[in-house]
Structure formats: structure tokens, C-alpha cells
Structure 1
Amino acid sequence: MNFRFNRLGGAAVALSCLLATTASADEAVLRAVSAFQVGTTIYEPFERFVEQVNENGKGIVQIDVIGGPDAMPPFEVGNALRGGIIDLANTTAVYHANLVPEGLAMTLTNRSMEELRENGGYDLLDQIHKDKAKIHWLGRLLQNIQYHIYLSEVPEELDFDGLKIRSAPTYQAFFSALGITPVQTAAGEVFTALERGTIDGYAWPSIGVFDLGWQEKTAARVDPGFYQVETGVYFSQAAWEKLTEAQQDFLTEQMIAFEGDADRYSTLADEEAARQAEAGIKTYELEGEARETFIAESNEEGWKPVIAASPENGAKLRELLVK
């Protein structure tokens, strides 16, 4: 379905959501959007989750994906969830950090979702989302996938100071602490920026480089990685509350089962690393003091905006999310 989000389209989606969730007392059909492009590596976990729900949920609940970024700009998804314009979304807390800055903590955890569901970390983040944005966090799709710095040239001896690296708000403070000059460049413009030399590299997950053809302009990947890529399933609280208890329980059970397959993505990251090596991308390994400084700076700088925005909850989250 070719869907374009605008004022008229938003009203139509709101109406369709209402009709979808109330059309059948036995089966709820939920309208979803994805903040990630259909067909990409980052989108694949959501595709698998939808297939799993629709296969197991016949007569209970079905998910109808009405589009990706073409249907709704990624940074509008949080507001659309809060306003009940859509039922659920495949997105990341990074995209609605303006509503829930504490959500950035999900990129900083080194605990599994199983651990966070047991120790209260999940419950706290979910409650914060409900209180601040009327959003229910169903669970996490991607686990065990880190970000890396990729370079257009293989360095003889890596000095971050002065390097121009395509960045994102999630790790901009970290890059600045390393001496990197963060550059805000749309993903669609990265290839040209590398080609013209206006950036020296980019930060990206350990998977998905080939989706955009960037391997052609990439010479090296810096190890270790940093942070954890977070994508998840987020519900409009209004849509969630319209579901029966049985439907809510079913979706929660499906999410927990999906999270239990987290090792799949560790394997995927290993396969991507091998593919990158075959494509000629060298691994530049930080060692000794340089490695320790890199890891320490990533942790300290990553938590600063979370704790600054929410001192009490930020401190609690760090205690629960970090081993």
C-alpha cells in the first residue's frame, strides 16, 4: 500500500486504526509503521516478528504493516504513537528521545532482555514511556549488535582527533570527547560524502553496511564496537488498552519468545564481519590503553545526557541496565 502521511492521511490512519481494533471482538487487526526501510537488514527482525505474530495469532490478533519511512518520517513516529494515530511501530527510542530521553539508556545496556525483565529494568523503562509519552514498550527486537566506526582509509596509527565522522545524536558526545568532529549527514548522502572526502568515515551498526553500498567506499572498521543498537516494538498506549487481556498476553508472550532468540543476531554480526573482510574492509583493532580509553569514554559520555535529563530515573536505570 502506498501511504503518504499528512494531515488528511493522519486522520484516515486514525480512523482505520479505530475500525481495525474494534472490527472484530475475536481478532484485532493492528496497523503498524516501521521507522526503517523495508528490505533492509535493520528491518528484518520486525518482519520476522510480524510473521510470527500473524502465524500464531490467527483469530486473536494480526499486524498490518502499512509502510516504512515513506509512510511516516521516523522522527514523527513517537508523536504518532502518543496521539494514537497508529497502533504500533517498529522504531527505536533514539527517534523519540525528545519525548522520553531516558530511552537512550537502552543503547547503553550490556544486559539481555531476559535479565532486564527479571531485575525490573524493563518495567521501569516501560513505565517511564507510559508516563511521559503514553507509549507502551512491548520489547526489543535487536540485541547483541554494536555500533562501529568505519573509515574510508586504513590508518597506519589511528588518531581520532580531527577526524570528520558521520554521527548521530546518540553518540555525538562520545565522539566529541574522543576529538572527532561529528558530522550530521543523511544516510542517503553518506556514499557521496565518502566519495568526495567531505567525511573520513561514518558510524554504523555491525550489520547493514551492504544495504547501502557503503562497502565500496569503506577501507577499515574500528574494533571494539560501542553501545548496543536498539530497535523495538512500541505501542500506542490507547491502542494497547483497547485490546483484551488475552490479546495483550498473547503479544507479550510472542515478544518474549522472540527476545529469546537473541543469539541469532550475534551470529548475523559474525557473518557480516566475515563478509566485510571478504569485501576488503580491514579490521583496525584498538589495543591497550587506547582500547580502555575508548570503552570508558563511550560509557561515561553515553550516560551523561540520560542522567542530566532525568537524574533520579537515570541513576536507577544505570544501576539496573549495566552489569
Structure 2
Amino acid sequence: MFAKSGIGIAGAVILGAQLAGTAAAADTVTLKAGTFLPSVDRIWYPHIRTWIKRANEAGAAHGLQVKMVAAGFKAMNPFQMGNAVKSGVLDLVHLSGTFYNKLLPIADAQKMSTVPVQQQRTNGTFALLRPLHAEKMNVHYLGRWGDGVNFHFYLTKPIQGASLKGFKIRGTSVYQSFIEALGGVMITTPPSQAYAGLERGVFDGLGWPLWGIHAWGWQKVLKYRVEPGFFTAEVSVLVNLDTWKKLTPAQQKVLNDVQIRLENEFGTKREETNKSQRALQARDGVKAIVLEGAERKKFLETATRAGWADVMKKDPVNGPKIRKLTELK
């Protein structure tokens, strides 16, 4: 039969293998991923790159692949990514709560957490957050990472004590209540527009975690970093709920396993990275302004008071619940 068709037995075997490969590719589910972090970032984004690599390696046997299609502002405005994953334009995002808190106000609360994510998985925090994410955003809350890396104020001129009076600070909702409590004015722009704003004097500084200012080139225009740090960075991992429900249990397990591995590994080199980032900033001329004594105490107490007040204002029902679960006594 094969000879008559002109294909031959060997050709038929090759053709069969090709068709089988095509069928396998057709059966593979490819999740479109996005993140607010630019792929050129050398501190934060490598964690996402590793996350995707591991998901693809483990997912290959289960017909699951993840493809990054929107990394950073050039691909999609981070403030639109919450709606994108809600609607299914994106299947999966690594996204901080500040970029989707208009859809889910309680998302901002994780900046206040002093409880490790591993404990959150078992103490009721995930049990609280997952139904809220599903109801308000049509997403499955897979987990979070980045905890334990503090935010800082970076400035173009020095402050005197725990006050931002007379300062305009680029920020997002993460910082707003604290900036205003210190007497400053907040200006909201995407991170991609911060360099120009600093260079032109539109604002006098910005809020950002200890890690990663070099990804944006900000060390060229910033002169000071205020110590101590405050709050905690967090990157939530969300999967469109319709997409999640269509995945097989094996595919869901791949994503869960990869996420938990990242959460467990993230803290192992955190202090080492903290030290290297401070050294890198110092090398490039970003000096530390260290608040001490009463000014340090005022700064930290104001951060805690203003941060939690903001959470309670945004969600008076769930705010007290999440504070009880995520604040170490």
C-alpha cells in the first residue's frame, strides 16, 4: 500500500511521526503570561524566567506550556494587566497588588504582611484571599513571592527627619497613605515614565523596593535612599479562573509546584541580594540617609499606622481579617 502511494514504508514512518508530533503540539495548552516587570531587569525578572522555564520543563509531559507575551510597560500598561487576566486576554500574570487593587481593594494589604508566605498558606490567609480573587477578578490566586524585601524612598534632595513636607514623590497606591502622612504629595506615573519625571524635576523622588532601580536607570538621577525600609514587596501570581478550571489536575499541579518552589527558594538569598543592592547603589552615588532614634521610630510607626488605615478604608470588612492573619504580634 505504501509503495503504491509513492511514500514507501520509511516515508510512512516519518510521516506518521510528524503527524503524531503535530497532534501533540495541537493538544498542548499554551498560557499567555504577563508581568509589570521588564525582561531587562536583572534582579526581579530572573525569578519569573526561572518560574516559566520550570513550568515548561515539568509541563512538557502534561501538554502545558507558558509563554511570556507582555513583560513591562512596552508590551502592556501594568495597570491594565488586572483586567487582562480577568477577561482572559492574559492567562497568567506575575503582578503586584497595587496594579489591580481597583478590582480588588484588599490586594494592597499584602504590602503590610510580616507573616511569611509559607505560613499564609496554612493559617487561613490563602483561604481568605482565593475566594475574593475568584469573585472580584475571575482569577485563581496561585500564590505570591517577593516578601521580605522592603520599600524605600529614593530622593534627588535630602530630607530632614521623618518628613516629606515639600516633596513630590512618584508612587502608586502602595505608598500614597504613607507619603501623605509624612506631608508629601504623591504623583502617579508608570515606572517607565519615572526617569523623565525625575530628570525634569516633576517630582523629587520615588518609592521602590531595595532591589532593581538599575533596571530603569534611576541611579543616574537619584542621589539618596532613605533608611529604614518599610512595608514589603509582593508579586502575586494569578491565573484566569476559566483557564484554571480547564487545566487537568496534573497541569494545575505543575503550576502549584513551581510556585511553591519559588516561594521556598526566594528567601534563601534575600539577605545576600539586599547587601549587594546597597553596595551597587553606593557605588553609583546613591547615598543612604539613615534615620535614627525618635525620627526612625516616628517613620516606622507612621508607615504602619497609615498603611493599615488605608487597608481598612478600602475594605472595612476584610481588612481586619487579613490584618489578624498577616501581622506578627
Does TM-score exceed 0.5, indicating one fold?
Answer: yes
Corresponding letter in the other structure for 1:89:
V
The alignment status of 1:129 with 2:130, answered yes or no, reads no
C-alpha distance 36-312 of structure 1, shift in aligned 2 (>3 A)? same
In structure 1, distance between residues paired with 2:24 and 2:79: 30
Gaps of at least 5 residues in structure 1 are 1-21
In structure 1, distance between residues paired with 2:36 and 2:199: 27
In structure 1, distance between residues paired with 2:196 and 2:75: 25
Aligned length: 302
SS where residue 225 of structure 1 aligns?
Answer: coil
Equivalent residue runs for 1:37-52 within 5 Å: 37-40=38-41, 41-52=43-54
- Residue in 1 that maps onto 2:12: none
Equivalent residue runs for 1:151-300 within 5 Å: 151-155=155-159, 159-263=163-267, 264-300=269-305
My pick for the range that moved more, 276-285 or 95-104, is 276-285
C-alpha distance 131-215 of structure 1, shift in aligned 2 (>3 A)? same
- Residue in 2 that maps onto 1:113: 117
- Residue in 2 that maps onto 1:148: 152
SS where residue 207 of structure 1 aligns?
Answer: coil
| Cα deviation, residue 160, structure 1 | 2.2
The answer to whether the 8 A contact 1:148-1:224 is kept is yes
- Residue in 1 that maps onto 2:70: 67
The answer to whether the 8 A contact 1:144-1:262 is kept is no
- Residue in 2 that maps onto 1:32: 33
- Residue in 1 that maps onto 2:103: 99
| Cα deviation, residue 121, structure 1 | 0.8
- Residue in 1 that maps onto 2:59: 57
After superposition, the C-alpha distances for 1:192-238 in whole angstroms (9 at most, x for unaligned) are 33333332221111111111221122221101111111112210000
The answer to whether the 8 A contact 1:161-1:179 is kept is yes
In structure 1, distance between residues paired with 2:276 and 2:198: 25
* TM-score where L is the length of structure 2: 0.85
In structure 1, distance between residues paired with 2:220 and 2:279: 16
* TM-score where L is the length of structure 1: 0.87
In structure 2, distance between residues paired with 1:232 and 1:279: 31
Gaps of at least 5 residues in structure 2 are 1-22
My pick for the range that moved more, 105-114 or 27-36, is 27-36
The answer to whether the 8 A contact 2:81-2:93 is kept is yes
The alignment status of 1:316 with 2:321, answered yes or no, reads yes
The answer to whether the 8 A contact 2:98-2:172 is kept is no
In structure 2, distance between residues paired with 1:64 and 1:249: 18
| Cα deviation, residue 304, structure 1 | 2.1
Rg bigger for which structure?
Answer: 2
| Cα deviation, residue 110, structure 1 | 1.0
Taking only aligned residues, the RMSD between alpha carbons, in angstroms, comes to 2.1
Corresponding letter in the other structure for 2:66:
I
| Cα deviation, residue 184, structure 1 | 2.6
| Cα deviation, residue 27, structure 1 | 4.5
In structure 2, distance between residues paired with 1:237 and 1:185: 29
The answer to whether the 8 A contact 2:58-2:254 is kept is no
Alignment identity in percent? Answer: 32
C-alpha distance 98-52 of structure 1, shift in aligned 2 (>3 A)? same
Equivalent residue runs for 1:7-26 within 5 Å: none
C-alpha distance 290-37 of structure 1, shift in aligned 2 (>3 A)? same
In structure 2, distance between residues paired with 1:120 and 1:158: 35
